Structures are given as C-alpha cells and as structure tokens.
Structure 1
Amino acid sequence: MVLGAGIVGISTAIHLARRGKSVVLLDRRGAGEETSYGNAGLIQREGVFPYGFPHDFGALFRYALNNTIDASYHFRALPSLVPFLARYWWHSGFTQHQRIAHLYAPLIENSIAEHSDLIDASGAGDLIRKDGWMKVFRTEKERDAAYKDAEKLSAGFGVNHQKLSTSELKTIEPSIQVELAGGLRWSDPWSIRDPHSLNKAYLGYFQSLGGRLVSGDAATLEHILEGPGWRVATPEGPLEARQVVVALGPWADTVTRKLGYHFPLAVKRGYHMHYGTKDGAQLNNWVLDEEMGYFLAPMLRGIRLTTGAEFALRDAPKTPVQLTRAERVAREFFPLAERRDEEPWIGARPCTPDMMPIIGKAPRHEGLWFAFGHAHHGMTLGPVTGRALAEAITGEKTVIDLAPYRPDRFLA
C-alpha cells in the first residue's frame, strides 16, 4: 500500500509496480488533488540549495512586520511554530546550508532524468516545456547579487544559466509593463503546463501496470500482529498489505504519531489563482518577480499567480492576504484580466527543519516506509524519491544514497 496519491506517492507506486509488486494507492481524494495540485509547475534542476530562512537583519525585520508578499505568518500559530523556526533558522546558516546543499544535490541532479522517464512512459510530453524559467530584477543591486550566486552555483554544481539584459527581456517578454534592470534564466529546469494533469497522466500509467487507486482514510492504518502486517479501512472493507509507504505530505503525522514517531514536521502554506490577460497580452516564460516575491506561470488554465510561504497551522482557515498583495503588484507588472477560479487555491508544503525530506525505512516497524517532507520541491523530487524508495523496498542498489534523508536523524 502507498498512502497518499500526490506526486511522491504516485511515483513510488509506479516504481513498485514496475518491479512486479501488487500495489494499491490509497487517498481520500483523487490523484494530485492536494499539495501536488497547486504549485509553480517547475522541475527545479537548479534548486540545489533548498529554501532557507534569511539571516540578514533587514529581511528578518521586514518579515516581522508581516506585510510582505513572499512571507506571512499567523500570530496564533507562533507558539507552536517557534521551536521549528528556530531549528530551521539554525540550519539556514551559511556553513550548515552549504553542507545541506551537497547532501541534497543527488536528489536534485536526478530530478529531470527521472521525470523524463515517467513523462515518456505516460505519454505526457505535451504538458512539458524544456526551456527553463526566469528571475527578473527591478534593481541593479539585486540583479548583481543574483548573478554572483548563479556563477557560484554553476561552478559548484554544473547548473546552467543565462544573464539577460533589459533589452533582451523586452524582446522575450514584451507584455511586461515595468522597467527592469535585467534577468536571469535557469536553462536546465523543465516546466509543467498543468501539474494536476501530469499527476493524472502518471496515475494512468500506474493503472496500466496493474495498480489500483482506492478511496480510504490513511489515518485508520494499524499494525496487525497476525496476517500481512498492516491494515487500513476503506469504504469497500479493510485492506491489508505486507508493506506500506507513508507518502502523505503535510498529513504524514496523522499516521506517524499514532505509531510513536514524532517528526518535527511543519508546513509552509501557499496560494494560487488563475487569470486571463488583457488586449492579447502573452506571458512566454515562467517568471519570478524577484524583489516582490511572487511567481507568474503561463498554465493551460491561464496565468497562474503563486505566492510565497505562509507560516500557519496546517488546517487553519484560508487567509489569502499574500495573494491579494501579490495580485495588486502583479497587475502593474503584467496586464492580468479576470480571475478564473471561484476562490484562491491553498496548499500546504511539508517541511523539516533541515530542509531535506524524510525517505527510508521506519526504524521501529517492519514493512513501514516513509517518503514525505519535500517542502517546495515535492513536484521536482517525486519521481527520484519514488524510484530510490522502491529500490530500497525491493533490496536493490538505490539510484542515490538515501542515508542523508533517513528517518531516524530526527528520532531520539
């Protein structure tokens, strides 16, 4: 059984089914209906450094005011979030972040190849673009700092980039309405024109391998001493399996805590909305307005605007203030027209304090495996996670070393 039909769960189920296993994918909804549904639609080959917590005083002061687009927080959530944020801040220090990047790099380095495999197998090539994405800058200071960071990343990890002048940006994106100081294109990443459709295509491929998607509540998972080992309730009756993978993203704790595993898992919530365009305007690239902290992506449904991080309790009511702030700025940046969604979409990114996912065998139970905590890179890392975990479950040599992501690094 694989619990959770997001990109990580679907990818794991595919790789287990490829190895001849009888696999059931269980979710309370459909494929990719939760966090995997709403994101910027990027396979971020350049994302070697996971998103850290700023250490400069200016940024911390700006976030403390709680009025920015790229970060927001709920005051009521702070008492429970502060211990996590303190550890997250510590791991984001220069020395720690450098060490984490080198441990994280093997996952990122395999992201394109593993997605390519599943894209070809599922016939989803029409959903993919292979020309990277862009950051654009309003000031020379931010531009020059980003150029220096890009050069270091290219030298250290072989990631390709292209510096773009103001005139080049005007040629590439003539509908942008503000004066820009330049841009930076990461040329290696791929982009996805509709992440939900890609999830469904991968699900169709899984089903073609003999896999099944069933409705059920993962929170009912129980360890049974007799029989195969694990049981979960479904509307059609109990389902049992010898091996179970917890790929529940931000809801992983609904299972792990009942079994005695207390991981320091928090969430960064995010919002998106789709828009039409005015007067035939066209957005040709996936674009981050760097200083403002929001993202625009030309999706099949329209221009998708995505926000940064909202630090809140996972199940707290929606508070899309970041989206409202971002939309106001984005309408000045690009000629957005009508909203195309009835209400803002919200998702919760599952985060660990060291910014790396939890992947591997549960240390205190036979037949229990974990694959969650991918933060901003769930879509990017789903296929490589799925392959590596399936290889571990079946006793093969894994495509990458899973030791840095082992579950017991957080357990006493």
Structure 2
Amino acid sequence: MGFDCLVLGGGIVGVSAALHLQARGRAVALIDRTQPGTGTSYGNAGLIERSSVVPYAFPRKLSALFAYGLNRRSDVRYDPKFLARIAPFLLRYWRASAPAPLEASAAALLPLIEASITEHQALSAQAGAEALMRPGGWISVYKSEKGFAAAAREGEGFRTSHGLTVDILDRAAFLALEPAFVSGAERIAGAVHWRDPLTVDDPLALTTAYATLFRDRGGRIIKGQAESLRPDGAGLRVETEEGPVTAREVVIALGPQSAALVSRFGLSVPMAVKRGYHRHYAQAEGALPGRPVVDEDAGYVLAPMRQGLRLTTGIEFAAADSPANPAQLQACEVAARGLLPLGAPVEAAPWMGLRPCLPDMKPLIGPVPGQPGLWCDFGHAHHGLTLGPASGRLLAELITGETPFADPAPFAPARFA
C-alpha cells in the first residue's frame, strides 16, 4: 500500500498531524501498535494550557535544589539508582532553565501556545467533540501566605504582559467558586484562577474523536510496528498487520519512543522521560470540583473527569521500564484528602505513563537532517494535549511548503545534529 505520508504514533500529536496533512490534500496513514489515544495522551490532567506561557523549568535556587535532593517531596521524586544515567540530561535542563535561554524558549513556544485553543476548537467542531471541552480554566491553590502572594504577583504580571484573564482569589472567594474544598478551608491561603484555558473531561475520547474524523475523511488507521521503519527505494516503509506500507514522507510522533527510532537515522536526541501517575476516585455528591485544581505546594492536579475525580501526580525520574512506585501517588493522595473528602479509588491499580521531555523544553518539529522525507513531531513534555493540533499544523505547513504560521527554526531537529 502506498501513501503520500505515514504518521507513526496515534497519540494526540500524531492524530493532529495526520488531520492537518489530510486537510492539505495528502493521502495519509496513521500507524500505531494500539488504538489511538491509549498511550501517554490518555493520562493527562485534561488541560489545554493557554496560560502556560513559560515552560516548566529546572529549579535554580540552592534551597529548592536541596529540598528536591532529599527526595521527600510529592511533586518530584527520583530513583537514586537512575540519577547517574539521567545526570547529563539534568545538567542540560538546568542550563537551559537560566533566565536568558528560558526566555528564548518561552518566546519560541508562545505562538504555539497562543494557537492552542483555536486549533483545538477548529478540530473539535469538525469532529463533533465540542461537548468534551469546558470553558472556565483551572485554579492554582496555595497553602502558604508567602506562596500565594508570589503567585498573585505573577498572575498580575501575566495579565499585563500577555493579556491573560486571571482572577486572584482569597480563601472565601475560592470556596465560593469551589465549595467541594470547604473541609480543607483552614489549609488554604488563596488561589489563582487562570480562566483562558479549556479543560477536557475525557482526553481519550477527544483523541478518539479526532482519529474518527481522520478515518471518516478517508484516512487509514493501521496497526503496525514503527520500529520496522526503513528506506524503500525513493521512500520509506513500515510493516503492518495489513502488509508493508510505503510513503514519500514519514512523521515520527511516537512520544517517549521517538528518540530511539530517530537515532537509527543518525540523529541523537537528548530526550528523557518523566514518569507520571493518575488514579480516579468516586466522589460523593457535592465533592467534585467544577474545574481542575492544582495543589501547587504538593504538586498534583485534581481534575473532574467522566471516570471520576482524576488525581495526577507531578514528576518521577526513573527508568521507563522499572516497576511502578506507588510512593508519589500515595503522598499526593494524603495531601488531597487534607483539602477535600476524596472518595474510594475507581481502579484497582493506578495508571502510569511517560512524558517525552527535551532539555531546552521545546519539541522537535521539522525534518531529520540528511534523511529526506523523514520528519519529527515529538518531545512536547507536559503539553502534548495543549500543543498537539498547533504543532501538527506547523509540521503540515513545513511538509507541504506553505508559509508557516510560527517560526519553525527553534524547533528544528538540526539543533541536536
């Protein structure tokens, strides 16, 4: 079977790229070993994060580094045996988090962040999935007066510098908006309500709706093995359950598995994975928040989902294939129960996933150097759901020769060549 383009990876990033290529007249096949949306794209907090105008940076203060080094915090955990393996990545991440390079990364990402809402709205309207998205943003909660004061200043600054809609809430105002947290009132100093983002109450259903739209418009979704990718005459070839498929252009959008595949084609990408967990809880009537709430001190999100209240953890640095460690989720659960009455777990065991992260906090979007027809669209870290449609548009514009809506140079894979 021959196509114009193959997209390897059925997460939100790959499905979005496939839709944008299809909309530009390309015959596209989406290749994955499982059903679309069932990998990393499933396990997020459902935030389309228009307000995240600054990437998640590595801490620079010595006091913060010391606190994380003790490995007792719930927002970031690490496997001590894994530190030696990940140390080069962490050093590059720390350097890229200095003020000047962090500002440059934020400026590069801003056009994609600004387009995140409109690109999702366009696709969700075409897919009939508008009901999965809610307006109203999300809320950061702070337990210390010092932390709340700093966050309030930052929120006011973003309102001025980026035109974001931000409400600074004292304890009473937060509880009026989110009465489910009344039992933890004494622990809450205040909150910041980021109103611009959209939230999704079923990320898997959203990716599935986009994939269905792609298929209904004539796209092919085929189970196959991305690691079988190899040159084939003037194009590239992948083995699938339906036989070999070929194309002139291939997009690698495999999330955490992308770096291993692209390394076979001569590009060594310094990518790391941040492990994360989630679990759903069955909430009693009146105990479900109206929007996602982030406990900034403990580093977890409570997001209302169709399956229940989803508790998602922060970061765990550990080998991708090492056994799940329940310590971080347990610590977050204890903290959450201090703020609201958390119900019984829905699942027998938590979900664990991998976030693909690059040290400069920017995804790879563009051609693989020296490999005509091979393209990258991965490394979105915490913002795969947010940036999937916007990065898919940028990639499709590059492949089809259109004028890109954002400067692609900062995302070029050649920066790691």
TM-score > 0.5 by shorter chain: yes
Tell me the CA shift for residue 101 of structure 1: 1.1
Residues 329-354 of structure 1: CA distance to partner in whole angstroms, max 9, x if unpaired?
Answer: 11121111110012111111111110
Candidates 137, 143, 158, aligned match of 1:132 = 137
| Map of 1:81 onto structure 2 | 86
Match of 1:55, SS? coil
Letter in 2 for 1:222: R
Residues 210-258 of structure 1: CA distance to partner in whole angstroms, max 9, x if unpaired?
Answer: 001110110110012x2x4101111221111111000011100231111
Match of 1:298, SS? strand
Whole-angstrom CA distance in 2 between matches of 1:185 and 1:409: 37
Tell me the CA shift for residue 154 of structure 1: 2.3
Residues 287-343 of structure 1: CA distance to partner in whole angstroms, max 9, x if unpaired?
Answer: 001111111001010000000001112222211311011011111211111100121
Letter in 2 for 1:156: S
Whole-angstrom CA distance in 2 between matches of 1:342 and 1:24: 36
Candidates 263, 268, 271, aligned match of 1:265 = 271
The aligned runs of 1:13-412 (5 Å cut-off) are 13-176=18-181, 177-178=183-184, 179=186, 180-224=188-232, 226=233, 228-278=234-284, 280-411=286-417
8 Å Cα contact 1:18/1:209 also seen in 2:
no
Moved over 3 A (4+): none
Tell me the CA shift for residue 152 of structure 1: 2.1
* Larger mean Cα displacement after TM superposition, 152-161 or 27-36: 152-161
Residue-pair matches, total: 409
Whole-angstrom CA distance in 1 between matches of 2:143 and 2:376: 42
Whole-angstrom CA distance in 1 between matches of 2:353 and 2:364: 19
Whole-angstrom CA distance in 2 between matches of 1:229 and 1:279: 57
Whole-angstrom CA distance in 2 between matches of 1:97 and 1:392: 25
> What TM-score does the superposition give when structure 2 sets the normalisation length?
0.96
Letter in 2 for 1:175: A
Match of 1:110, SS? helix
Tell me the CA shift for residue 280 of structure 1: 4.2
Whole-angstrom CA distance in 2 between matches of 1:10 and 1:278: 36
Residues 129-174 of structure 1: CA distance to partner in whole angstroms, max 9, x if unpaired?
Answer: 0111000111110011011112222222222211111111121111
Match of 1:288, SS? strand
Structure 1: gaps spanning 5 or more residues: none
Whole-angstrom CA distance in 2 between matches of 1:128 and 1:300: 12
> What TM-score does the superposition give when structure 1 sets the normalisation length?
0.97
Structure 2: gaps spanning 5 or more residues: 1-5
Match of 1:333, SS? coil
Letter in 2 for 1:96: P
Whole-angstrom CA distance in 2 between matches of 1:280 and 1:117: 33
Whole-angstrom CA distance in 2 between matches of 1:403 and 1:193: 34
Letter in 1 for 2:230: E
* Identity between Structure 1 and Structure 2 (%): 47
